[in-house]
């Protein structure tokens, strides 16, 4: 999904928004033709992600800008590490700076938060999933960042997985109607997941060959009960906990040994990783 064409498209749009008709500050105060040498430095520990987006920002402004990488996406970095060295026309470097750091900081922030939660839950065998709660226009980029942090991608959109939610069940006249309609001929060709909100629905769904069951807004106690019911019914359908999962309680849910936890927070609430571009202007 992350192609040079995709990266170019979204970076180009952001540069247009940021620069408009030109960087009037840099043009006003810098000597024409002066050069800049800079370093992007980590101000905190984390996982780096989005280097191709940052490089694209500089290259779209001036393809002669040099971009010397010391790390790759998915690498762990420490406070004080030099991530990349940049050199080129000073106006070009300064014009691309904010767009490059916005992409790099945002995607690294998602990767870093995901990595933290993955590390805290890995002993329980639970997989951390993202959701469709992503920034408009940045879904592929943000889901890529989740993978860089060690998480897994849930469905990308409405087209690659059947996910039956409470509104579908209500509109169809109940969960039994949904199941009968879905499996009236044969199992669908794409994965099927269904969201349930109580244990009575679980006993119905476990009779059908769904690929995954989402336990929506279940307490940890009810997750444990659901796992017990599944065992009693001799089923191996994996469970996914979703709804009300936070950075603070993710470990508590993982302790139930549920197979998956999906969290919107890793994309919509991840703080930017603190990075800075330190620049020295060369007048030659």
**Rounded average pLDDT per 10-residue block, the chain, 284 residues:** 94 95 87 92 98 98 96 98 96 96 98 97 96 96 98 96 93 89 85 95 94 97 97 97 93 97 96 96 72
At residue 284, the pLDDT reads: 54
**In CATH, what class is 118-268?**
alpha beta
Fold classified for 4-112+271-282? Aldehyde Oxidoreductase; domain 3 (3.90.1170)
Distance CA 167, CA 172 (A): 9
Angle between helices 4-19 and 51-61 (to 10 degrees): 60
At residue 93, the pLDDT reads: 95
174: number of CA atoms within 13 Å, CB side?
5
> 179-234: per-residue pLDDT in tens?
888 888 778 889 999 999 999 999 999 999 999 999 999 999 999 999 999 999 99
Domain boundaries, the chain: 4-112+271-282, 118-268
Evaluate whether 152 touches 115 at the Cβ level (below 8 Å): no
Evaluate whether 36 touches 280 at the Cβ level (below 8 Å): yes
Evaluate whether 203 touches 233 at the Cβ level (below 8 Å): yes
CB atoms within 10 A of CB 253: 24
At residue 250, the pLDDT reads: 96
At residue 165, the pLDDT reads: 93
Evaluate whether 162 touches 190 at the Cβ level (below 8 Å): yes
Evaluate whether 11 touches 53 at the Cβ level (below 8 Å): yes
Angle between helices 4-19 and 139-148 (to 10 degrees): 120
Evaluate whether 88 touches 64 at the Cβ level (below 8 Å): yes
DSSP 257: T
Which residues participate in catalysis according to the annotation?
98, 133, 165, 195, 216
Closest CA to 23 of 52, 60, 59, 61: 61
Phi/psi for 239 (5° steps) reads -105, 150
């Amino acid at each position: 999904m992350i192609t040079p064409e995709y990266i170019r498209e979204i970076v180009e749009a952001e540069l247009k928004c940021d620069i408009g008709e030109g960087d009037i500050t840099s043009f006003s105060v810098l000597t024409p033709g002066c050069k800049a040498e800079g370093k992007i430095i980590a101000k905190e520990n984390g996982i780096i992600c989005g280097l191709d987006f940052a490089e694209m920002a500089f290259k779209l402004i001036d393809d002669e800008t040099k971009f010397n990488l010391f790390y790759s996406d998915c690498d762990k970095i420490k406070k004080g590490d030099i991530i990349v060295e940049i050199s080129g026309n000073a106006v070009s470097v300064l014009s691309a700076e904010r767009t490059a750091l916005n992409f790099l900081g945002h995607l690294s922030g998602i990767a870093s938060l995901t990595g933290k939660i993955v590390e805290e839950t890995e002993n329980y065998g639970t997989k951390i999933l993202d959701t469709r709660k992503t920034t408009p226009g940045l879904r592929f980029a943000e889901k890529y960042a989740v993978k860089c942090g060690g998480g897994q991608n849930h469905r990308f959109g409405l087209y690659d997985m059947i996910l039956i939610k409470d509104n579908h069940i209500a509109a169809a006249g109940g969960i039994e109607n949904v199941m009968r309609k879905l499996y009236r001929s044969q199992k669908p060709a794409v994965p099927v997941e269904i969201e349930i909100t109580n244990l009575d629905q679980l006993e119905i769904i476990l009779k059908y060959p769904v690929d995954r069951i989402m336990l929506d807004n279940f307490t940890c106690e009810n997750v444990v009960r659901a796992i017990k019911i599944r065992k009693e019914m001799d089923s191996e359908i994996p469970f996914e906990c979703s709804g009300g999962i936070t950075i603070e309680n993710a470990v508590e849910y993982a302790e139930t040994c549920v197979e998956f936890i999906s969290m919107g927070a890793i994309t919509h609430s991840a703080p930017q990783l603190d990075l800075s571009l330190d620049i020295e202007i060369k007048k030659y």
